[in-house]
């Protein structure tokens, strides 16, 4: 369960005194999520999420994350809206943690999205990219290429997870560092738009959540993160029909340049390596006191090996 810091009723009462959102009716921890402590709050005026930001989220990044969500909501993106206190603050302190209350979005995330869901999600990604064009705050991608080698060196014995994993990481790092593109269209990206961060009502997107990896980077890299997480099947095969649907819906809202298309196989490798590294680090360095189970990094090792054999973007459905 993803609750690292407890909140009792007295804490909640003191917190709600800062806001004008009514009287609490229900309050409980939320099991989903791995980075922060999250609670579902129901008052007589609506439903909300209380988030306490834990140590893995840098304090200095919070104005970017919360400001971005507020900006996106104003632009019509269905995302959580950070509430402001009676004094206009988005961030407060609760139990020695920075905290925020956000609007609750209805819908469900899908473990195995189908083609219609890939279509809807691809369109939302493009809309998100366009909506962020005039957002004035910036944040570098801390988990982009400059951060991969230091992260790889901090992991420990990757072969304890899977034989040959150390060599795979080393070879991929060398290739990506030598050939990573330097001048593709970019701006604000979500950087973590996995299926569990998109909510659906039937086949329609009802919300986009978890902006806590958002940053400035290449738009096509964000697309690569999505293709990696939405278009592989349980047996490890890439579903090109889903890829075509996702890319086609994205292109209908934001054209993809030739340079982006040419770079897609490399971007797919980079996106797979990024999640392989973080998952391997968490798997090896897992603290048993954490109330969440680390995700298996071998899924992204398989994906990375697949991408290293791809020659052109057409193999992804572009």
198 closest CA partner among 119, 253, 265, 138: 119
Count structural domains, the chain: 2
In a domain, 279, yes or no: yes
* 248 and 163 share one domain: yes
**Mean pLDDT confidence for 3-9:** 78
* HEC string for 37-97: EEEEEEECCEEEEEEECCCCCCHHHHHHHHHHHHHHHHCCCCCCCECCCCCCCCCEEECCE
Same domain, 60 and 169: no
Phi and psi of 236, rounded to 5°?
90, -5
Single residue among 52, 75, 103 that ends a domain in this structure: 103
- Is 190 inside a domain boundary? yes
pLDDT digits (tens, 9 = 90+) for 199-224: 999 999 999 999 999 999 999 999 99
- End residue of a domain, out of 77, 103, 129: 103
φ, ψ (nearest 5 deg) of residue 46: 150, -170
Determine the structural domain holding residue 246 and report its residue range: 115-316
Residue 178 CB contacts under 8 Å (≥ 6 apart), including other chains = none
Quick check: is 4 in a domain?
Answer: no
One domain, residues 87 and 168: no
Residue 138's CB is within 10 A of a number of other CB atoms, namely 10
pLDDT (average), residues 128-157? 96
Q: Do 132 and 249 reside in the same domain of the chain?
A: yes
Angstrom distance (rounded) from CA 267 to CA 263: 6
233 Cβ contact list (under 8 Å, min separation 6): 239
Instruction: Check whether residue 193 and residue 291 sit in a common domain.
Output: yes
The pLDDT tens digits for 165-204 are: 999 999 999 999 999 999 999 999 999 999 999 999 999 9
Q: How far is CA 46 from CA 28, 78, 199, in A?
A: 15, 17, 19
Contacts of residue 59, defined as CB under 8 A and 6 or more positions apart, other chains included, come to: 53, 98
| Distance from C-alpha of 99 to C-alpha of 317, rounded to nearest angstrom | 41
From CA 28, how far away is CA 5, in angstroms rounded? 12
In a domain, 3, yes or no: no
Q: Tell me, what's the pLDDT at 1?
A: 37
H-assigned helices in the chain: 9-16, 62-74, 115-131, 145-154, 165-179, 219-230, 240-253, 258-284, 298-307
Asked if the model's pLDDT at residue 238 lies above 50, the reply is: yes
Contacts of residue 89, Cβ cutoff 8 Å, sequence gap at least 6: 18
State the burial class of residue 136 (Cβ atoms within 10 Å of its Cβ: 0-12, 13-18, 19+). exposed
Mean pLDDT of the region 64-72: 97
Is residue 164 located within the same domain as residue 262? Answer: yes
Of the candidates 78, 103, 128, which is a domain's last residue?
Answer: 103
**In which band, very low, low, confident or very high, does the pLDDT at 30 lie, cut at 50, 70 and 90?**
confident
CATH number of the domain to which 69 belongs: 3.30.200.20
Q: Based on the domain organization, do 241 and 153 belong to the same domain? A: yes
- The answer to whether position 1 is within a domain reads no
Residues 80 and 211 in one domain: no
Domain shared by 132 and 272, yes or no: yes
User: Element (H or E) spanning 200, and its range?
Assistant: strand 198-201
Do 131 and 27 belong to one domain?
no
Q: Are strands 198-201 and 204-208 parallel, antiparallel or unpaired?
A: antiparallel
Is residue 133 within 8 A of residue 77, CB to CB? The reply is no
> What does the pLDDT read at residue 80?
96
């Amino acid at each position: 369960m993803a609750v690292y810091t407890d909140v009792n009723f007295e804490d909640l009462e003191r917190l709600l005194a800062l806001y004008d959102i009514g009287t609490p009716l229900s309050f409980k921890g939320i099991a989903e999520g791995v980075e922060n402590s999250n609670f579902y709050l129901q008052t007589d005026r609506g439903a909300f999420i209380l988030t306490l930001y834990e140590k893995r989220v840098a304090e200095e990044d919070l104005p970017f994350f919360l400001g971005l969500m507020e900006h996106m909501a104003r632009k019509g993106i269905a995302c959580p809206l950070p509430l402001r206190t009676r004094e206009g603050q988005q961030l407060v302190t609760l139990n020695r943690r920075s905290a925020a209350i956000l609007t609750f979005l209805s819908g469900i995330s899908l473990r195995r999205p189908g083609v219609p869901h890939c279509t809807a999600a691809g369109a939302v990604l493009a809309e998100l990219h366009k909506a962020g064009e005039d957002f004035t705050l910036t944040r570098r991608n801390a988990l982009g290429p400059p951060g991969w080698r230091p992260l790889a060196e901090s992991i420990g014995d990757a072969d304890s997870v899977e034989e040959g994993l150390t060599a795979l990481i080393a070879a991929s790092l060398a290739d990506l560092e030598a050939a990573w593109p330097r001048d593709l269209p970019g701006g604000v990206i979500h950087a973590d738009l996995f299926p569990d961060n998109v909510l659906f009502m039937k086949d329609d997107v009802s919300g986009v959540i978890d902006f806590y990896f958002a940053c400035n980077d290449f738009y096509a890299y964000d697309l690569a993160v999505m293709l990696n997480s939405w278009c592989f099947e349980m047996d490890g095969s890439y579903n090109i029909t889903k890829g075509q649907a996702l890319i086609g819906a994205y292109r209908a809202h934001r054209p993809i340049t030739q340079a982006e298309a040419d770079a897609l196989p490399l971007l797919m490798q980079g996106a797979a390596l990024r999640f392989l590294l973080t998952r391997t680090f968490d798997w090896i360095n897992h603290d048993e006191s954490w109330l969440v189970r680390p995700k298996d990094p071998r899924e992204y090792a398989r994906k990375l090996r697949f991408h290293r054999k791809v020659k052109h973007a057409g193999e992804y459905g572009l």
